[in-house]
Amino acid sequence: MSAKLADLAEQLDIDVKRLKEKIVELGFEVAPRARVIDKEIADLVLLEMKGNLNKPEGAETGKKVKAKIGDKDVDALEEEVLEAPKDVAEMYDEMIAEEREREIVKSQRKKTAGKEGVKKKKDEVVQVDAAKDFIEISESISVKEFAEKTGIKIAKIIGELMKNGILANINQQIDFDTAQIIADDMGVKLKRKRVAAGAEEFMSGDISNLLKEDDVADLRNRPPVVCVMGHVDHGKTKLLDAIRETDVVSGESGGITQHIGAYQVEKKGKLITFLDTPGHEAFTSMRARGAKVTDIAILVVAADEGIKPQTIEAINHAKEAGVPIIVAINKMDKPGAAIDRVKGELTEHDLQPEDWGGKTICVPVSALKKEGIDDLLDMILLTAEMEDLKANPEREAVCTVVEANLDKNLGPVATVLVNTGTLKIMNNVIVGNTFGRIKVMKDYTGKSVLKALPSTPVLIAGLHETPKSGDILQVVKDEKTAREKAEEIGLKTQLQAEEKLSGMSQILATVKADKILKLVIKADTKGSLEAIRQSLAKIKDEEVALKVIHAGVGKLNESDVMMAAASGGLVIGFHSDYDSPYVKKTAEREGVEVKMYTVIYDLLENIKRILSGLIEAELIEVIIGRAELKQIFLTKKKDLIVGCKVLSGKAQSKSKAHVIRQSGGEEVRVGDVEIASLRKVDQEVKEIGEGNDCGMKLTGFMDLKEGDIFEMFKYEEKRRTLE
């Protein structure tokens, strides 16, 4: 249904132009050339403007008039209309059906029976004790259902929506964010009803959306998750053993009955979770699958040996993951220990020690003599406090698989780390493309537990298949949901494998968003490596950038490939080869592009070509012709039919044109049109050449005059290349 603006203006005794201005002021949209508006809007505008107009002297009062709210006709007294308040929501309150209001209040009474804080006044929101209760709603909800759940009158809701520029009826769906705005204004607390994540989120391993919380008041401090990395034989395992044995509360390292890949210690009444993994390889493997479970990285460096190649790899892994680094300078008991030399080498890799004016915490320790362990734990707690690590223990759990295997007694088992929420025994879960119900849950000592809080590692059994390291676990409401979601993920995984992109396509797809190409470089000598790095540093552009995330001397190993996989980068070998055939197979499996070069020039040219592909093409406006408007044949509501003569170039169907008009001896651009179609005599054509007459059907700018010039153009992409 629609209403004529002219009729509405006549009723209000104002001109159409002023009426349109008033409609815009009231928060509604109206096109400049509109002649009609929606009937519902017209009724609301009529009520609003009559309420604001001065009542004529001697006007009759008590006369009944008809009004319309949504699809409902209501009677109202003219004097009530004339004296209506300016708040549209209040006008709705006066005219809303009393029976509907009573139904809402009655429904709310049932839900809040026996609770304090229920108010029944006509013009007030029926509220529950806000300190205790949240009203849970889905991502979208109808206005009617929202009113029933919250006790807010439908009139109030529609009025608030109108204030925010949304015209809605009682059956209209509103999203959670919109509902939250209305609820906040009315003093009602909402909570988003959680649903299982989409298959794409599970497959990507990106759990950032799953960890989001609507209310920061739900968050509680959680223990930090720590990963120990460093060069082989620098004492990573001994340090982990020393930390376990000096746990002053448990004192039961000998009582650990089974290894689950992670454990917890307590210091000053606070827990710390350690990932008991074989160095940065597992850390990188999990990152390659999208999992980000580590909060703090402990870099173990031997005081008598200093920085080694694997130490550099570990530093680069931790930096790329964006986690704080604490350096444990181990083997301080050895005669050749030189702590200052180690600190000096750390500065070469942008890890400036605190006592040297930097921000990197360095703790001297001796894992063998168990010295400095307490200081290291104190620094971990201090760093965790600065990071302000929090999670919500009151929601369904989201976890990450640390490792998994097939147990001869329990079947498929997995060590999972709880990211947020509380994992409970008998929970139905999805894990990657498998599912199950948790029938066994054990902590790192082998003790059976009923629940696991955030940052707690536990071993679980009850899954249908063995998941992969880095897979995401999420609790769902029932087994049916778990099975359906797992099947969907499995199907998408299979399709993805069949349509797998080439390594280079994956790289381009990964870096398109942030415009950074990440490189892992291996060269035969230090001299070659430095020459490559210096040459790459000269390749600069405002739109795209290069980032060398790791560089080293020697053959390409599995760690290089996994780092590139974790970061979405490219591996470059200069006079370098794979150190084993297995590395090449790993690159193929992970979809990592590996490029081998023997000439630096070829390497640089190829990098430039890749970066050029990441630069956004510039749209250039190309003039294709000019035509003069000779005659306007027909003017319709949204288009015109005109006769033209092509003065130069050509006219093309579906092209655009600037409208140029002579004004004061100068050509002035007054608007733009689009050529919907071209006709030559009575035949429709795609193109008309110079000197020909033609008919055009135009859309866009309607205020055309004979003699106007159409400057026709099209857009072309211009690719910019690197210097």
- Residue-range domain boundaries for the chain: 2-84, 116-192, 222-391, 398-475, 503-614, 618-718
pLDDT at 249: 37
pLDDT tens track for 475-492: 988 888 888 888 887 777
pLDDT at 133: 58
Give the span between the Cα atoms of 8 and 11, in whole angstroms: 5
Percent of the chain with pLDDT over 90: 23
Q: Flag whether pLDDT at 86 surpasses 60.
A: no
Equal fold, 503-614 vs 618-718: no
3 state DSSP class of 645: strand
Q: 612: part of which helix (H) or strand (E)?
A: helix 600-614
What lies within 8 Å, CB to CB, of 464 at 6+ separation is 412, 434, 435, 436
pLDDT tens track for 441-457: 998 888 889 999 999 99
Rounded average pLDDT over 117-137: 46
Class of domain 618-718: mainly beta
Give the span between the Cα atoms of 150 and 182, in whole angstroms: 11
Fold designation for 222-391: Rossmann fold (3.40.50)
Average pLDDT, the chain: 77
Q: 405: part of which helix (H) or strand (E)?
A: strand 398-407
What lies within 8 Å, CB to CB, of 180 at 6+ separation is 190, 214
Q: 82: part of which helix (H) or strand (E)?
A: helix 78-82
Return the CATH number of 503-614, one of 3.40.50.10050, 3.50.50.60, 3.40.190.10, 3.40.50.300.
3.40.50.10050
pLDDT at 95: 44
* E strands in 125-204: 135-137, 140-142, 173-175, 190-192
pLDDT tens track for 185-242: 777 877 766 655 555 555 555 566 666 776 677 788 999 999 888 887 888 888 888 8
Q: Which two tokens stand for residue 656?
A: 């655009």
Contact 711, 687 (CB under 8 A): no
pLDDT at 99: 46
- The CATH classification number of 398-475 equals 2.40.30.10
Could you tell me the pLDDT band of residue 83, with boundaries at 50, 70 and 90? Answer: very low
pTM of the model: 0.56
